[in-house]
Structure 1
Amino acid sequence: MMNRVILIGRLTKDPELRYTPAGVAVTQFTLAVDRPFQTQGGQRETDFIPVVVWRQLAETCANYLRKGRLTALEGRIQVRNYQNNEGKRVYVTEVIADNVRFLESNRNGGNSGSNGGSNNRGHDQGKNDPFSDDGKPIDIPDDDLPF
């Protein structure tokens, strides 16, 4: 059995970061993905796909993704359901992303490409990222190394 999805599209609004009662980060956003064909009128239709990202990747997405950014992601489709206030069963289909790639540095710039997978930091973090490539060595104490 396989449940795998790969999408490339643009965010319809800034991601929403929340935390569960247990303190686990979760981010939600919607990805607008064009269909690969045109209607008889010559227009492309677009699907608006809800995406959920968990833990550290959720925080990274919330910090660096913005409305309109071209983004690629890998994940799985999940269908969940609940009863609304009127007692009706509501079904929700969403993509649970486990790998997100930032495909452009900013909305105006055309610097496309990627720099990582699930811990991708994007190209636009500037001075907020202590790991940005400014040509200087990074001082990491031996106690912080995992090996």
Structure 2
Amino acid sequence: MTTLNINQIHLVGRLGKDPEIKWFDSGKVLAKITLAVKRPSNTDKTPNWFDLELWGKTAEIASEYTSKGSLIAIEGELKFDEWLDKDTNQQRSKPVVKVNRLELLASSNNMDSQSDTTDDEDDF
């Protein structure tokens, strides 16, 4: 029996803050975004928060056309960032969604434009 491994995430939510953009000497660009997603089953109305990572043209579009409060849809894959905590000297990790596809649904400024982008950047 063959095991099928699928790592695919679809989310719709609003940006918690403006995208953080980083340009690398290689010319590649990275955008980091936090996304608030409400779940119908969540009775206390507290959103779930997701850290998103966007690369290349997708990052540029997010930087130019989104801001805190923008409504977006994304398709991506889950990865884990790992680091050594400087204070405790313990290994730490957190889940991050690497966005492969971004759709602009609305913005906090009621922007009516839509964009459907994909990006194949893996690393810097």
TM-score class, shorter: 0.7 to 0.9
Which secondary structure state, in structure 2, belongs to the residue aligned with residue 44 of structure 1?
Answer: coil
TM-score by length of 1: 0.70
Q: Which has the higher strand share?
A: 2
Counterpart position of 2:60: 59
Counterpart position of 2:70: 69
Task: Count residues with an aligned counterpart.
Answer: 114
User: Does residue 4 in structure 1 map to residue 8 in structure 2?
Assistant: yes
Which secondary structure state, in structure 2, belongs to the residue aligned with residue 62 of structure 1?
Answer: helix
Separation in structure 2 between the aligned mates of residue 98 and residue 19 of structure 1, nearest angstrom: 18
Separation in structure 2 between the aligned mates of residue 109 and residue 50 of structure 1, nearest angstrom: 23
CA contact (8 A) 1:72 1:102 kept: yes
Which secondary structure state, in structure 1, belongs to the residue aligned with residue 64 of structure 2?
Answer: helix
Paired-residue identity, %: 26
TM-score by length of 2: 0.82
Separation in structure 2 between the aligned mates of residue 10 and residue 37 of structure 1, nearest angstrom: 18
Which secondary structure state, in structure 1, belongs to the residue aligned with residue 63 of structure 2?
Answer: helix
Structure 2 residues without counterparts, runs of 5 or longer: 120-124
Separation in structure 1 between the aligned mates of residue 38 and residue 23 of structure 2, nearest angstrom: 31
Quote how far apart the aligned CAs of 1:66 are: 0.6
Separation in structure 2 between the aligned mates of residue 44 and residue 63 of structure 1, nearest angstrom: 30
